[in-house]
Amino acid sequence: MSQTAINLVAVSIFLMTLSTLLGPLFHFSSTIPAIGTLAVLGIATLDAFSLQGKGGTLVLDWVAGFSREHRERIVHHEAGHFLVAYLLGVPVTNYALNAWEALKKGLPGQGGVIFGDSELANQLERGSITAQMLDRYCTIWMAGIAAETLTFNNAEGGADDKTILTTILTNLGFSENLREQKRRFCSLQAKTLIQENWEAYQALVNAMRKRASVTECQTAIAEIKT
């Protein structure tokens, strides 16, 4: 069971217990929270056995999806990854803007931009990666946070991006100080690339809002840059 699903179960049980204790005082019916708890437990079970850990995320995505700002943050964040990958010559093979889209497309995790990273994987498997390759992908990983910060003055997403970056740099023998230096350098690189291609970025955001295909998104960028 995913950590998200476990958290949902814990919250539902807490609310059920709270409603049982306070219900008689405020004349609340215990039926509604009981049904809600059973629903969450059912989702958690489905999550564990059928959805590979996505069930809890689907629920949270559905709830968060009511917020327009949340949806806008996601599309701006993922457009940052997409644009910088395009500019640095790393192929984008697919993308999804929420867990439900990822599930329908058969993509791993909660979605996001999927890169053609076989060359990176081969180098990491050999335990040797070129400085150019490392900088390229580190810049792409930090591009979501950079894009979100440029648009909203702060970033709420990007925890997974930081985790990937930290894990790879740690495995390559980078000290904590060097990891932080690399993160800052690549964040600045990503920010600069997005700023220098701002019109293309906005065109890409609009295309991704409409769930355009990868090819259509690439065309939207190319039309601005030509």
DSSP class per residue in 160-209 = HHHHHHHHHHHHTT--HHHHHHHHHHHHHHHHHHHHHTHHHHHHHHHHHH
Residue-level pLDDT, tens digit, the chain, 226 residues = 444 444 444 545 555 554 555 545 555 555 555 555 555 555 544 444 444 444 444 444 544 445 788 889 999 999 999 999 999 999 999 999 988 888 888 887 777 999 887 777 787 777 778 889 889 999 999 999 999 999 999 998 899 899 999 998 998 889 999 999 999 999 999 999 999 999 999 999 999 999 999 999 999 999 997 7
CB 100 within 8 A of CB 58: yes
The single-letter code of the amino acid at 162 is K
Phi and psi (nearest 5°) for 96? -145, 145
pLDDT at 20: 54
Per the DSSP assignment, residues forming a β-bridge with 193 are none
Q: Which CATH architecture has domain 68-225?
A: Up-down Bundle (1.20)
Both tokens assigned to 54:
């996505």
Phi and psi (nearest 5°) for 111? 105, -150
